[in-house]
Amino acid sequence: MLKVQDGCTHRCTYCIVPSLRHHVASRSAAEVVEEARRLLAQGYAELIISGINLKQYGRDQPQLGDFWDLLQNLDNELARDYAGRARLRISSVEPSQLNERGLQVLKACRMLCPHLHISLQHASQRILRRMGRGHYTAQDLASALERIQAFWPRFGLGCDLISGFPGEKEDDHAELLAFCQAMPFTYAHVFPYSPRPGTAAASFPDQVAESIQARRARELRKLFQEKNRRFRQKLLDENALLQIVLEGEGGEREKGVCQYYLSCSLIKSNETAPTRGLVTVQAKALTSKGLAVSLDQDSR
């Protein structure tokens, strides 16, 4: 994890972070590049660029530019030495960051995994407004994803969702389900809403009963389980080549994560199979939550 930013001033109505970490602090590109080079020299093959709210990168020091400037800079600096040997991944972005500039940078980066994790939270505009996140719409995300598909023909796509937020009606939930079904999501983190003392939403009068929250979260998780299974099956059917970063933990099967953010377990064919680093593999079978893979013949 390469942390480039701390703090958030946004004040989503459910979130306590701005009360605890109100001060936004961004690290300069030079500092980030230096740390990235140090980690890569130590043998790390994947760096996850993270922050509390990457949208606010640079707010404290406008001369740094925004998150996209930082990412472009980092990729430019590292690619000539490390492209093909290591990679970058973005921890999480929110839909409003996927603007023209963001898409240009995603397309141009040579070390970036074709994977995005979106801090979406909901698809109903009424609920997004109540969450204090009315500055984007589900449609904004749909439009951006359509454009991303033009340069990433295949990509991993996850999102964070809050289910059963105060005031969420069956219609809102149905809208969220339909949106998630229609979008090319490959997984999601579904959180049933839980009130945080000290946040605005904790005192909203129309809290949703726990049993309803649990049922809605279940329906969402079921939908995503099926979407994830279909994505993995497609990789298998297409004999997709995957690049996995092995975790070097040993055991019967080495574990790793592929560029699309799927857990993979490497079927060992001989004693000299690699245990660390970035290797090219082929999907061979579905496992309960990921893929069993074997070394690609050409890269042995």
Among 3, 10, 189, 215, binds ligand SF4 (CB under 6 A): 10
Q: Tokens at residue 32, please?
A: 């980030």
For ligand SF4, the closer of residues 8 and 113 by Cβ is: 8
Question: Residue 191 corresponds to which tokens in the numbers above?
Answer: 């959180």
Cβ of residue 204: shortest distance to ligand SF4, in angstroms? 16
Contacts of 189 (CB under 8 A, 6+ apart): 158, 159, 160, 161
Q: 90-104: string of b/e by CB count within 10 Å (b at 16+)?
A: bbbbbbbbbeeebbe
Closest contact distance (angstroms) between CB of 39 and ligand SF4 is: 25
Task: Judge contact between 33 and 154, C-beta under 8 A.
Answer: no
Closest to ligand SF4 by CB, 136 vs 231, is 136
How far apart, in whole angstroms, are the C-alpha atoms of residue 226 and residue 229?
Answer: 5
Closest to ligand SF4 by CB, 20 vs 30, is 20
Q: For residues 5 and 124, which CB has a smaller minimum distance to ligand SF4 in the complex? A: 5
Q: Which amino acid is at 122?
A: H
Site string for ligand SF4, 29-58 (x = CB under 6 A): -----------------------xx-----
| Phi and psi angles of residue 119, each rounded to the nearest 5 degrees, phi first | -80, 80
Q: What is the nearest approach in angstroms of ligand SF4 to the Cβ of residue 227?
A: 24
Asked if residue 138 lies in contact with residue 125, where contact means CB atoms within 8 angstroms, the answer is yes
CA distance 198 to 133: 18
Stretch in the footprint of ligand SF4 (CB under 6 A) among 10-18, 140-148, 221-229, 244-252: 10-18
Among 4, 5, 18, 105, binds ligand SF4 (CB under 6 A): 18
Size of the residue set binding ligand SF4 (CB under 6 A): 9
Residues binding ligand SF4 (CB under 6 A): 8, 10-12, 15, 17-18, 52-53
